[in-house]
Amino acid sequence: MRLFWKIRYLDRTDKQFKDRNLYLSTKSLDPVTRAAFEYIAENRTPKIEREVLKYKHLFVEDNADRDNPADRDKFSTVGPSEYLEDETGKEITQDELAQILTGSSTARVIPRGAKQHDIDLMSVEDKPIPLAEVSLNNEEIRLLGYFARDLQEMLNSAFLKDTPCSLISYGRNTKLETAATDEEIRSFVMIFRRLYMTSDNDPANFSRIVPIFVKAIGSHPYGKWVEGAANEYKRRLDSPPDDRPFASSGRCKLTTKLLIDVFLYTQYAHQPNEKRQRQFKECLVEVDGDKNLLTYLFLSEIWKRSLEIGNVGKLISWWFKRYCDHHGVSPDVLDSLYNCHIGIGTAEKERDRQERILEEKVQQLASELWAEAGYTHGGPSQYCNLAREQLTKLLSR
C-alpha cells in the first residue's frame, strides 16, 4: 500500500499557509508495523486517524507533482482531517493559529457551529463552581440521581456509538441502513424517552433537571451555558428536522418534536390511539410517502438530540457527583439492573453454544483424520475443511 498525506502548515515567518506532501510505502515496514499502519489507514474515524501521527517519522517528504491520473489508484490518503502544524512540523492548536495570525496572545478561535451561549462561556474567566454554599433538598437529590443514572445508560448504548443511519437513493427508491440492530435501537429509544419526555411519569427528564442545576449554581457561567444550551435544544425540537435529504424543498412542515412523539407513540412505547395513528400518516405525507426517509429523519433526530442532552448532562452529572462527595450524601436511587446483576448478558446464547460445540467437534475430527493420514506435514488444521464438510453432511441427514 502506498500512502499519501497532505499536511497544511502555517509558516510563522511570513504567516502564509503552505502544503507539505508526505509519502510512504508500507512494503518498507516490518510486518507488525505494516499491519498496524494499514489498519489505521483503512479506518476513517477521527480517533483512529490521529494514530498516524505516531508514524510521521516514517514518511518521506516529496513536493513533486504526483497528480497523475494513471497512478491515483495506487495511493491511499491518510491523516487526521483537523490537523495543522508550523514550518518545523510542530502541531498548532486552533487558538495558537489565531494568536499567530493576529499577534494577540488572547485571541481564540470560535468553533464552527458555536452558539451565543458557547461564545459567552469562552469569553469568561474560570471561577470555582459552587459546592459548599449549595443546599439541595431530598427530592432534588433524588431526581438528579435518576437523571445521572439514565444519562449513563444512554451514553453507554450501542446506538449512540456509531452514525445513527444512512439513506441510500437509487432512482425513485430509498434504502435505510443502520449499524445498530433493531433490538439495540429499541433499547436506546426506551432510555432516551425517559430523558426526553416531559410527563410526570419521568420527573427526572432533561427539561426538569436543567432548572434545578441552574438554580443551584446561581450566576456561575456554567449555569448560563446550560440554560442557553437547553433553550437551543427546545428550539430545535420546535423546528423542522435539520436534515431532509430527498424531500421537496420547503414542503416539510412537521416539527422535530412531533416526529419523535409520533414514533414513540406508534412504534415503541405505546400502542397508537386514533390521533397518533393519524399523525403518523400525516408525517408520512410530508415526505411523499417514503417510510425509509421518515425513519431516517427520526433516527437522525433522536441521535442529535441525545448528543445535546449528553453534552449538558455530563456537566450536570459531574457537578452532582462532586456535590454528593462534598456534602457526604447519597441519592436514594435504584441502580441500573446491569450494575446490580453482573451476570446479565454473560450466559451463552443457544446459537453460540451450538456453533462452539460444532467447532470443537470439527477440531476433534480433524485431529483424527490427521492421525489416520499418518501425521502428515502441516498438522491437523489442513483437515479442518474436510472435517467440517463431513460432519455437516452427516448432521443434515
List the chain domain ranges. 2-102, 121-340, 350-395
Which three cell numbers, joined as nine digits, stand for 12? Answer: 510563522
The H or E element spanning position 306 is helix 291-327
Determine the pLDDT at residue 72.
45
d(CA 250, CA 21): 44
First vs last C-alpha separation in the chain: 47
Determine the pLDDT at residue 252.
65
In b/e form, how buried is each residue of 242-276, taking b as 16+ CB within 10 angstroms? eebeebeeeebebebbbbbbbbbbbeeeeeeeeeb
Q: Could you tell me which of 226, 81, 209, 86 has the C-alpha nearest to residue 144?
A: 209
pLDDT for residue 245 is more than 80:
no
Question: What digits encode the pLDDT tens for the residues 59-92?
Answer: 998 765 454 444 444 567 888 878 899 999 999 9
pLDDT for residue 218 is more than 60:
yes
Long-range contacts of 14-18 (CB under 8 A, 24+ apart): 15/100, 15/101, 18/87
CA dihedral (335, 339, 342, 343) in degrees, to 10, reads 60
207 compared with 122, residue with greater pLDDT: 207
Average pLDDT, the chain: 87
